[in-house]
Chain A
Amino acid sequence: GQNIDQPTEMTATEGAIVQINCTYQTSGFNGLFWYQQHAGEAPTFLSYNVLDGLEEKGRFSSFLSRSKGYSYLLLKELQMKDSASYLCAVRAPSYSGAGSYQLTFGKGTKLSVIP
């Protein structure tokens, strides 16, 4: 089975740095994704990691350690518009057999950025 854990809520100050952690236990692994979802909107893609290490993309960075089943999303120079839910998702083989994959999402971390 698949199990993904991330904190339910976090609060950070505008201009600061925040790290959102994600731990996972899956049967098989084919990549980890981070998505941002504003209230009432669809998720938007932020990052993808399949190898260990850090991927940097502007103010956002994502780290993966496959041996530890651990990832984090780092947001720098926080802005008010970064207030949203951040979803960690792992791709792994699906129930339907060889060659098929499914994306399993965590419950999301609701980030509130305060002035």
Chain B
Amino acid sequence: DAGVTQSPTHLIKTRGQHVTLRCSPISGHKSVSWYQQVLGQGPQFIFQYYEKEERGRGNFPDRFSARQFPNYSSELNVNALLLGDSALYLCASSLVWQGAYEQYFGPGTRLTVT
């Protein structure tokens, strides 16, 4: 079975632009979470979705938004990009969103803002 997939792998954008990152969860998983990881730091939680509903939101500005589609894939959108948005964006999927569940991470999208 395929693991979590993310696209694109790498992306270079300029300040002020908009970006859309995509994630496909493991087959059968209904929950997707998004994280931002800056070099040398742990991942920071952005959003969690389950069954197309937002189930968690981290402390990120409104420039960050996400959605989950009927097939459980998800998009993360970032508007008005800043240099500080340069990071590895990780998507993780899980069967459920509460209790003792494992999250499986995708390879990430490396975003560079210039």
Contact = CB atoms under 8 A, between A and B. Distances in A.
A104 B43 CA distance: 8
By size class, the interface of chain B is 20 to 34
A91 to B, nearest CB: 9
Interface in B48-67: 48, 54-59
Interface in A92-106: 94-96, 99-106
B57 A94 contact: yes
B70 interface: no
By size class, the interface of chain A is 20 to 34
A105 B44 contact: yes
A48 B102 contact: yes
A101 B56 CA distance: 5
Interface of B: 33, 35, 40-45, 48, 54-59, 90, 97-98, 100, 102-108
